[in-house]
Amino acid sequence: MLISDDYRRLNRELHETNPHYGNDNFGWSRFAKQLVQGGGYLTVLDYGAGKGNLKIALSDLPVSVQEYDPAIEGKDGEPEPAELVVCTDVLEHIEPENLNAVLRHLRELTQKRLFVTISTRLAGKTLADGRNAHLLVKPPVWWRAKLLKYFQILLWEERGATVAAELVAKKHMGARKSAGRRQMTPEMVAFFEHTRQQINAASDAFSQVGDVRTWESVGDEPADFQAAVDVIEHMDDMDAALADLASKSKKCTFVGVRITELHSEWDWRRVLEKRFRAAQWERQGEHLMMIGAPCVMVQGVTAVGAVDSEERWKAVVANSARFPRRIETAEPHGRTALIACYGPSLVDTIETLKIEAQRPDVDVVSVSGSHDFLLSHGITPKFHIECDPRLHKADNIERPHPEVQYLVASVCHPGYFDKLGNADIRLWHVSTGEHVLRIIGDLKESPKHVISGGGSVGLRSIPLLYAMGYRDLSIFAMDCSFKSEGETIQQWAGKHAGKKQDVVDVMCDGEIFISSPVLLTYATNFFETVQKVTDLNVRLYGHGLLQSMCRFYMREPSQENAFMERIEHVDDALTERVA
C-alpha cells in the first residue's frame, strides 16, 4: 500500500484549503529543469506533483511530463516509468508503515535517475486531525541508510534542514563494496610513474608527488597520489566513496570510470568536480579519466578568475619580459616567516606581532593591505607578497619601501608594478591549469618559480615561502571572518581597496562568526594546503573562524586530520595580555 484512504482524504483537504501546500515553495523545479537539460532526458515523472509547478517549468522543453499525486483527482492514476523521476518534498509526508512500498514504487518507475529532496524538520502546516504535515522527521543519516536499500547514491547534499540527492535505481539488495585490494599491474605502475614524473616536472616544491597508491575502499591509506580505477562506479554510495578518496589524497587524484547509459559523461564530470579540482580530462571510448586535486567545495560558490584568462596571460608574458629577477628558492632552513594577513584581528594582535617580529630568527612578510598597516605601526616587512591581477590592488600600497623586497606574481596588473617604481621586485608565477604548461614551455620558466596554492594571497604565500625554504610559519589575522562592532561590520584591519563582500553567519565550536562565501572557501583551502606536506609547522594568531576551526579539529583527532598536530593556535588570552 502506498497511502491509506484516511490519509489520502486528509491530504486532499489540505491541498484544497491551502494554496501553498504542494506548491514547490523552495524552487526545486528550476533545478530539475537543469537536470533535464544537462542529462538530455526525454520523459519526466513528477512523483507527488502537488500544484504542478514542475510541468509548468518544463513546458518550453521537448520533454514528456507525467504527474502523479494520489491525493489529487486526475493525477492519482498509476504512472508509467520515466527516465527522470522527480520527488521533491514528498517522502517526509509518507506514512511510516508505507515508506518501503513507496521507495520500491519509485525504484520501479526510475529508468535512469531519481531526484529527491527531503525536509528533516517539522512542517509549518498541520493536517485536519492535528498531526504535523511531516509524518517522517528523521536526520539525514537515517534517510541515507534507507535510500541505499533501493538506490545507488550519485550525489548527496545537506542544505540546512533539507537533503537533496540524485539516485540510480539498483536491482540488487544489499550494499556493494570492493571485493578486496587489487594489485597494480606492471602497465598501471608504469603509467602512474610516468604521470608522477610529469606532475613533478611542472610543480613547485610544495606540490612534488612522492608515494602513489590505489584506492579500493578497503584498507586505504593516505598518499600524495591516489588512483581509483574501475571502482567508484561499483560503489552503492558513490558520493561517500569519492569523499573518502578525496580525504586520502594529499596532492593529486586519478580517477578512471566507465560511461554507461546510467552514468553519462555529464554525470561523472559533475560528481567528480564536487570533490576535485580537475586539471585534465580525457575520454577513451567508454572510459573517462580525470587528474585533479582534492578540494572541499563551499555550496553556492563557483571559482571564477578575477580577470579573463587571456588578459592574465598577456600580463604574464609582458611582466616576465619586463622583470628579469625571480624569487630565490632555497633548501629548508631554520628561519620563521611571520605572515601578516589583513583580517580584522590584526588590530588586536599587532602588539604581539611586534614582539614576535623582534626575534632574530623571524622574517616579517606582509600580504595585500597589511603592507601599509605594518609600516604605520613601525614594522618594516622583509617581504611583501601580491598575486591578485586586478588593478585596484595597487591602491593598497601608498608607496614602496626601500627595505622591502616585493615578491609579485607575473599575473599582476602592469599598473601594480608601475606603482612600485624602482623597488626591489622578484617575480614568480601563479600555477593555474590553463597557464602552467605555457609558462614552462613557451616562456621557458623554471617550474620551481610556478607556485601552487589557494585562492587568496595569504594562502598562496604558504607554498611560496615553502619554496624559499621556510618550514615554520607564524600567521597573523588569517581570520576568514569579519568583526562586528554594533551595526558596523569590519571586513579588514583597516582601509582596503577591495569591494565589500556579501556576509553569512557561520557557527563553529559554539560561536557564531560573520563570514562570506569566498572566505569560507579560503578556510577550506587552508586545510587542503597544509596537509600536503609533512615538514611544515604553522602557528595561528588572532580570533576568527579559521582559528576556531583549527581549535575544534585539534580536539577531534582522527587519521584524516593527523596533520593538525603540526598546527598550533596561540591562545587569545595571551594576545589580550600583551595588548
Q: What is the pLDDT of residues 303-330, one digit of tens each?
A: 555 578 899 999 999 999 999 999 999 9
Average of per-residue pLDDT across 41-53: 92
Which candidate, 148, 142, 115, places its Cα nearest to that of 48? Answer: 115
Lowest mean pLDDT, pick from 203-207, 251-255, 340-344, 476-480: 203-207
From the options 3.30.300.90, 3.20.20.70, 3.40.50.300, 3.40.50.150, give the CATH code of 5-169: 3.40.50.150
Mention every residue, 6+ apart, whose C-beta is less than 8 A from residue 78: none
| 230-281 pLDDT tens trace | 999 999 999 999 999 998 998 999 999 999 999 999 999 999 998 998 888 9
Lowest mean pLDDT, pick from 171-180, 519-528, 540-549: 171-180
356 compared with 175, residue with greater pLDDT? 356
pLDDT of residue 434: 79
Q: Which long-range contacts (CB under 8 A, 24 or more apart) does 502-511 make?
A: 506/481, 506/545, 508/545, 508/548, 508/549, 508/552, 509/548, 509/549, 509/551, 509/552, 511/548
Band of residue 516 on the pLDDT scale cut at 50, 70, 90: confident
> Could you give the CA distance from residue 206 to residue 453 in angstroms, rounded to a whole number?
9
pLDDT of residue 577: 40
Band of residue 527 on the pLDDT scale cut at 50, 70, 90: confident
Band of residue 336 on the pLDDT scale cut at 50, 70, 90: very high
pLDDT of residue 73: 87
| 113-130 pLDDT tens trace | 999 999 999 988 888 888
Rg over CA atoms, the chain: 27
280 compared with 156, residue with greater pLDDT? 156
Mention every residue, 6+ apart, whose C-beta is less than 8 A from residue 142: none
pLDDT of residue 496: 64
pLDDT of residue 48: 92
Mention every residue, 6+ apart, whose C-beta is less than 8 A from residue 469: 329, 330, 331, 332, 333, 335
> Could you give the CA distance from residue 490 to residue 310 in angstroms, rounded to a whole number?
34
pLDDT of residue 301: 47
pLDDT of residue 578: 43
70 compared with 564, residue with greater pLDDT? 70
Average of per-residue pLDDT across 101-109: 97
| 439-457 pLDDT tens trace | 999 999 999 999 988 789 9
Tell whether the model's pLDDT for residue 469 goes beyond 90: yes
186-294 under CATH 3.90.1170.40, yes or no = no
> Could you give the CA distance from residue 165 to residue 271 in angstroms, rounded to a whole number?
12
Tell whether the model's pLDDT for residue 563 goes beyond 80: no
Prediction pTM value: 0.81
Tell whether the model's pLDDT for residue 521 goes beyond 90: no
- Under 8 Å between Cβ of 118 and 124: no
Tell whether the model's pLDDT for residue 573 goes beyond 90: no
pLDDT of residue 576: 46
pLDDT of residue 324: 95
| 183-204 pLDDT tens trace | 888 888 899 999 999 888 888 8
Tell whether the model's pLDDT for residue 43 goes beyond 90: yes
pLDDT of residue 569: 72
553 compared with 370, residue with greater pLDDT? 370
pLDDT of residue 575: 46
Q: Mean pLDDT across the chain, nearest whole number?
A: 88
pLDDT of residue 179: 61
Task: Kindly write down the DSSP assignment for every residue of 243-312, as one continuous string.
Answer: HHHHHHEEEEEEEEEE--SSS-HHHHHHHHHTTEEEEEEEEETTEEEEEEEE--PPTT-----SS-HHHH
Band of residue 355 on the pLDDT scale cut at 50, 70, 90: very high
Average of per-residue pLDDT across 475-502: 75
Average of per-residue pLDDT across 493-499: 65
Which residue ranges does the chain devote to CATH 3.40.50.150? 5-169, 186-294
